[in-house]
Structure 1
């Protein structure tokens, strides 16, 4: 079964009728269905499937205890109202690449695994690459267990409901020690390949990025009867935060600062809110400095309105240079299939970036003609997906010959 066919089989899973696109989050019905789909497809191929202590899935061709394993894969969760390819493309391509290798009669000299990492987008609990961060020890398990979603449900509660012991979350050095290489195939997030008429790119770097939560507290009151002088409206400094992020980004063409999520409490149309939470996503060469500029503006605006503000760091990921030797291998192997291969830096975070501190990791990017990502218009042509699978299969063969 091709990667396109595999993706078509789950196209209706997690369709978001309200936002458009797909919403698939850790522990919800859609994500659970996708995990079951992956387990079924892996078992159909005779792969040994296991769930690790952090609920990442692993489908093994060969003995997982043998060590020196080559791993591919991605994630199955999405941002709210996201696209169909970000994550699932890498998982489906991993399964399809193993089909192709078997059809060729390839006999790997070391184990190959297709991995599915939990909560890569952070769409439910706010921390991206949750499964790979726990695996590598980059995220404290106590902090992870205490994370809450928008309804106040903790990560520990979600895992317990799924029959997984949340006490087992955390660093897994034994598993990491058995991994030799990780190659993640991913749809291009941006539009660098299409103008050059190129189907495949090879990842070079991932820029530094992070997420910060600004919580403004004021005083709830009646929208129609409260005089201006009596208002302590936290929406005002929240709005200034949005504008400050845009100003900070405008000062540095390499920087990105975005507010994509705002929660007002109690949330009535005719109520001056008592509290407003704003989530800031910042990326670039110096995201911390950018955030400091935004926070300074937010604090000044909060003071002027008589409100309080608390700033919480949800996650920080430093810049990552993907393994140069593995990138050379990916480029060399891809060049046998496509006429030209370019190296791509990306402003998007990936599990490959988290794993890079522990083993050589690389990324293959499949052309996205729309340039849109994290939205329903995200797209890859079927022929480009097939090319990506062929290149991935060739890479896996090269690394396990």
Structure 2
């Protein structure tokens, strides 16, 4: 099967009947089904599949000498945001499998081994830690912190990992594997309209905006909605509403800054109950890391003032932060030579390639998204553009494997 056919084969896995699109959090029933599917598909093409200490899947096309050193890897992720699109993550995975199968069929005597990797919890939709698997592998995420992370049901990552055959005590940095990687090239659907405006099917990535996630905890006084006068309330939901607007206002003051409150949970969450607390999660991005920090400080100051004005308290804490990434210049240049029609394109979205870029030469290929919509059901890539992406990936991997 080609990449297009593989996407069709998994198109019913993890469909979200309420939100639309797909909900495939890490180690959910849907993501586990996709992992099993990947293992079967890779094995059917003669690729050797293994699971590493952090739960990432690796499908290997070994070199004639059989050594997995100085290797070139591609791949992406299979988990999704709630109600996400069909292409964010899976497109890179199926394109990698298709590309390695084509290289294998050609009998190319590559000097370097090739592999497709599937990193777990890239989206952070279950444990609010973006790129959890890749950050564990490179050593950026403290394994003790990772083990203690809890999901909405109170299940720790250590418990979840153990349920699915991983040893929680072995989570963490994998220096031997990192030392074996010569380069990483991740293919991904574009999450914007850059390629639409450039009238091109495929682009070479240049950079990723610095971005992070913050948790805001507002606490007030829970009470009865019917017996508490309006002027005798300490309502954190009222403060939360003002903070959401303040986040937009502060970001709008800075060119090219992005700040979003995408998740809000009131406690206890009853219709006839004044909330006692509200949890909000915020995403902030900008090309300049110093600007991100300045924007977050401004939002925190507004948050404290708004909370105090409503008789509430507020605490802001950082969940994760990924600084601005500029992909390997030599690898970019080489890919431009190999793909002369592919323009250069920056992105505001985070990726596992951005995590690995600080440790190994890393690059990305983007495939055109005609509507520019991502993290939503309308996300799309045309069949012809997907084929162009696979061909570009084959060209790059064949060259790097020599």
What TM-score results when the alignment is normalised by the length of structure 2?
0.97
Q: Within 1, Cα distance between the matches of 2:397 and 2:182? A: 12
- Deviation string 1:241-277 (CA, Å, 9 cap, x unpaired) is 2111110121112100000100001101111001100
Superposed, 1:330-345 pairs within 5 Å as 330-335=335-340, 340-345=341-346
Give deviations 1:347-399, integer Å, cap 9, x for gaps: 10000000001100000000001000110111000000000000100101111
> Equivalents in 2 of 1:347, 1:195: separation in Å?
16
Q: In the alignment, which of 244, 262, 280 is matched to residue 242 of structure 1?
A: 244
Please tell me whether residue 72 in structure 1 is matched to residue 74 in structure 2: yes
Asked if the contact 1:238–1:276 (Cα under 8 Å) also holds between the matched residues in 2, the reply is yes
Distance 1:5 1:266 in 2: 45
Distance 1:151 1:297 in 2: 31
Q: Of the candidates 300, 304, 310, which is equivalent to residue 305 of structure 2? A: 300
Question: 287-296 or 11-20, which moves further after superposition?
Answer: 287-296
Match of 1:253 in 2: 255
**Cα deviations by residue, 1:186-216 (Å, 9 ceiling, x for unpaired):** 0011001112211111000111000000001
Q: Structure 1: how far apart are the matches of 2:50 and 2:198?
A: 41
Contact 1:210 1:317 in 2 (8 A): yes
Kindly provide the CA deviation profile for residues 299-334 of structure 1, in whole angstroms up to 9, marking residues without a partner as x.
111111111111111000000100011111111112
Q: What is the CA RMSD across the aligned residues, in angstroms?
A: 1.0
| 1:43-54 correspondence runs (5 A) | 43-54=43-54
Q: CA deviation at 1:295?
A: 1.1
Q: Which moved more, 1:57-66 or 1:174-183?
A: 57-66
Between the aligned partners of 2:198 and 2:130, the Cα distance in structure 1 is 31
Output the CA distance in 1 between the equivalents of 2:207 and 2:112.
27
SS at match of 2:194: coil
Taking structure 1 as the reference length, what is the TM-score of the superposition?
A: 0.97
Which residue matches 1:130? 132
Equivalence for 2:32: 32
Distance 1:372 1:361 in 2: 25
Distance in 2, Cα, partners of 1:330 & 1:236? 51
Which residue in the other structure is 2:16 paired with?
Answer: 16
1:223-250 CA deviation, whole Å, 9 max, x = no partner?
A: 1110123211111221122111110121
- Displacement of 1:163 in angstroms is 2.1
Q: Which runs of 5+ in 2 are unaligned?
A: none
Asked if the contact 1:216/1:309 (under 8 Å) is kept, the reply is: yes
User: Residues of 2 paired with 1:241 and 1:315: CA distance?
Assistant: 20
8 Å Cα contact 2:123/2:129 also seen in 1: yes
Residue 66 of structure 1 and its aligned partner are, at CA, apart by 3.2
Q: How many residues get paired?
A: 397
| C-alpha displacement of 1:65 | 4.5
The 8 Å contact of residues 65 and 178 in structure 1, kept in 2 or not, is answered as no
CA distance in structure 1 between the partners assigned to 2:162 and 2:243 by the alignment: 37
Q: Which residue of 2 aligns with 1:227?
A: 229
User: C-alpha distance in 1, partners of 2:6/2:300?
Assistant: 45
Q: Is the 8 A contact 2:75 2:185 kept in 1?
A: yes
- Cα deviation for residue 106 of structure 1 reads 1.4
Answer yes or no: is the 8 Å Cα contact 1:236–1:301 preserved in 2.
no
Residue number among 330, 334, 339 corresponding to 1:329 in the alignment: 334
The alignment partner of 1:210 has SS state of strand
3-state SS in 1 of match to 2:204: strand
Q: Distance in 2 between matches of 1:231 and 1:204?
A: 50
Whole-Å Cα distance in 2 between the matches of residues 301 and 229 of structure 1?
16
* Counterpart check, 1:290 vs 2:292: no
Query: 1:63-90: per-residue Cα shift (whole Å, max 9, x none)?
Result: 6753100000000000000000000000
Using the TM superposition, name which of 311-320 and 56-65 deviates more.
56-65
Question: Is this contact kept in 1: 2:367–2:389, CA < 8 A?
Answer: yes
For the residues of structure 1 that align with 2:209 and 2:67, how far apart are their CA atoms? 34
Matched position secondary structure for 1:96: helix
1:399 aligns with 400
Deviation at 1:112, TM superposition (A): 0.2
Cα distance in 2, alignment partners of residues 211 and 169 from structure 1: 22
1:66 & 1:106 partners in 2: Cα distance?
17
Consecutive aligned runs of 4 or more in structure 1 exceeding 3 Å deviation = 63-66
- Contact 1:320/1:356, CA 8 A, preserved across alignment: yes
Is 2:61–2:104's contact at 8 Å kept on the other side of the alignment? Answer: no
SS at match of 1:66: coil
